[in-house]
Structure 1
Amino acid sequence: MNELTVSRGEATLRWVLMLLASAVVLGPLLWQLSTALKGPGESTTGFLSGLVPSDPTLDNFTTAFTQIPLAGYLLNSAGIAALGVTTNLLLATLTGYALARIPFRGRNLYMAALLATAALPFEVILVSTLLVTRNLGLQDTLLGVVLPQAVSITSIFVMRQAFRAIPDELEEAATIDGAGPVRTFLGIMLPNAKGSLAVVTVLGFLDSWDHFIWPLVVLSSPDKYPVNVGVQYLSGAFSADQRVISAAALVVIVPPLLVYLLLQRHVFSGLAGGALKG
């Protein structure tokens, strides 16, 4: 009986903790959605009393798209994200494979140096990166936004761990069957690391989509701004109207949510598969 009471107590505690975590995560999002759907006469300062709009409207979304070129900003972000995901996938996969499966002198030292630099915020190298980008003639270009952060160290580490988790016997069997390095990499290694590839895809997309400081510094033409930078114009034009700003912010977070929802099954399998092997 005591064990049953303890079991029920643990279950109740877990449910309470999950509800609290859900409230912390979903509460701001629901409040933002509520604000975006409110009409001009409704208050945006109340809490529980004003959570449900009395007269829901989509006019705030229409205003956000008409007052600033929000669609163009979204296209710019989509282009930056596509380039960012491509470069991150390619470079992280090749680098992770070399660090995991190709023995060379100083391999562990190189990986340690990469992980050490991951602790440095991008702001530390912002000025030097801007000077290099300017000297290469990439300032005020979308390519200049992508290349300085073309690959993340986290993605390299994820792919390294994924390739290390693949049994050596698979690679040896492919070699015995006459497969060369390229065929082994494409036919054996990549299919067995597809979960980690999904993780790197999501990480690359989120990182590219969330760019703010670097595009703001390197781009001088407003028509090339990504959506995170472009939406800031609403803060000036509608500083007192939180409804329009909330509507635009909701539009901004939709693509990352869709990418994650589409790949979440592969993301979890990738994190559980190879990311824990030392």
Structure 2
Amino acid sequence: MSVLQDLPASPEQTQPQQLRLDRRFRRRGSGDFNKPTIAGLIGRYALLTLVLVLFIGPFVWQLATSFKGPADDLYSFPPSFIPTDPTIENYIKVTDLIPVYTYAWHSLLIATGAVITNVVLSVFGGYALACMKFRGKFIALGILVSTMLLPGEVTVTANLLTINSLGLANTLLGVFLPGAIGAMNVLLIATACRMIPQDVLDAATVDGATTWQRIRHIVWPNVKGMASVVAIFTFIGQWDDYLWPLMVLTDPNNYTLTVGMAYLNGNFSPDPRLIAAGTMVALVPIIVLFSVMQRFFFQGVQEGAVKG
């Protein structure tokens, strides 16, 4: 009888026990998280509404301000989001005050170049750190991580002296070079590369695949989601950068869009309508980029999540 008692219970016997445990936990107040209560549902939507107002509200206000005419009161309370005297004259005046499209082209060149170099070099560096074995690997990883501990303001002077010594001051290339590769981007791609089974890479090596073929046919299909995350954040960071282009560029003909927009807040044009119009012009490429790549962005975020 003791032997029979030690045998595992059959599914027919364990099922009623599981039902009793479910009822016990349900009586204790442990409900299904996928089916919230009415109070929880109201709380969720209230929180979502608050976040929506905090994040979308300023954008909508700036958009409405960019279309407001002289007859509109910009400082009314509560703020008016619908112009009573709508006009596109603000956008026309912005292009008359500064060469918006030339500055936007400069910013686009720098941001696009930074995206290409960051994605390509991060894939190569991430593959080397995650999938290759070589001497000094952990030293290289430590140096890479240590560069992230210093704030950007600490390295600005060193970067500026380097750019001046290379003769690249007041050039778009001088603005581009410091952002050509980022330590965080390399670590993100390395994290994605670690999810690739080593047996697959070893099998490709045995079959005679070169390093380039392994990266192209095995690594890239598995890290392209994370690469899209790198691309989006790199583009936004380079497009919105203000301090570094301001320090490198001295000729107004070479300004980027963010530096050129500073004129709109100067003594020549303190009109908030023009500032709002210039802000909308600067936001358009970012909105378009994220709209096109949002599917790959969320795929890359999911790849970087913890898997159980």
TM-score, shorter chain, exceeding 0.5: yes
Residue 158 of structure 1 corresponds to 188
What aligned pairs does 1:80-229 form with structure 2 within 5 A after superposition? 80-229=110-259
CA contact (8 A) 2:228 2:296 kept: yes
- How far the C-alpha of 1:43 sits from its partner, in A, is 1.2
Q: 2:189 aligns to what SS in structure 1? A: helix
- How far the C-alpha of 1:10 sits from its partner, in A, is 1.0
Percent of pairs identical after alignment? Answer: 37
Q: 2:194 aligns to what SS in structure 1? A: helix
Residue 22 of structure 2 corresponds to none
Residue 255 of structure 1 corresponds to 285
Compute the TM-score of the two structures, normalised by the length of structure 1.
0.93
- How far the C-alpha of 1:28 sits from its partner, in A, is 0.4
- How far the C-alpha of 1:59 sits from its partner, in A, is 0.8
Residue 41 of structure 2 corresponds to 11
- How far the C-alpha of 1:47 sits from its partner, in A, is 3.6
- How far the C-alpha of 1:85 sits from its partner, in A, is 0.9
Residue 21 of structure 1 corresponds to 51
Q: Which structure is higher in RCO with an 8 Å CA cutoff and minimum separation 6? A: 1
Q: Which has the larger radius of gyration?
A: 2
CA distance in 2, matches of 1:24, 1:102: 45
CA contact (8 A) 1:162 1:275 kept: no
Residue 270 of structure 2 corresponds to 240
- How far the C-alpha of 1:199 sits from its partner, in A, is 0.9
Does 2:76 match 1:46? yes
Residue 231 of structure 1 corresponds to 261
CA contact (8 A) 2:201 2:214 kept: yes
CA distance in 1, matches of 2:270, 2:177: 37
Q: Please, which moves more after superposition, 5-14 or 126-135? A: 5-14
CA distance in 2, matches of 1:87, 1:6: 46
Report the residue type matching 2:92 in the other structure: T
Report the residue type matching 1:102 in the other structure: M
CA distance in 1, matches of 2:186, 2:305: 11
CA distance in 1, matches of 2:43, 2:287: 29
Report the residue type matching 2:160 in the other structure: L
CA contact (8 A) 1:164 1:274 kept: no
CA contact (8 A) 2:70 2:85 kept: no
1:216-240 alpha-carbon deviations (Å, 9 max, x no partner):
1111111111100001111125543
CA contact (8 A) 2:94 2:100 kept: yes
Q: Please, which moves more after superposition, 106-115 or 174-183? A: 106-115
Assess, with a 3 A threshold, how the Cα gap between structure 1 residues 155 and 255 changes in structure 2: closer, same or farther. same
Poorly superposed stretches of 4+, deviation over 3 Å: 1-6, 237-240, 274-277
Gaps (5+ residues) in structure 1? Answer: none
CA distance in 1, matches of 2:40, 2:268: 48
CA RMSD of aligned residues (A): 2.0
Q: 1:231 aligns to what SS in structure 2? A: helix
- How far the C-alpha of 1:105 sits from its partner, in A, is 3.2
Compute the TM-score of the two structures, normalised by the length of structure 2.
0.85
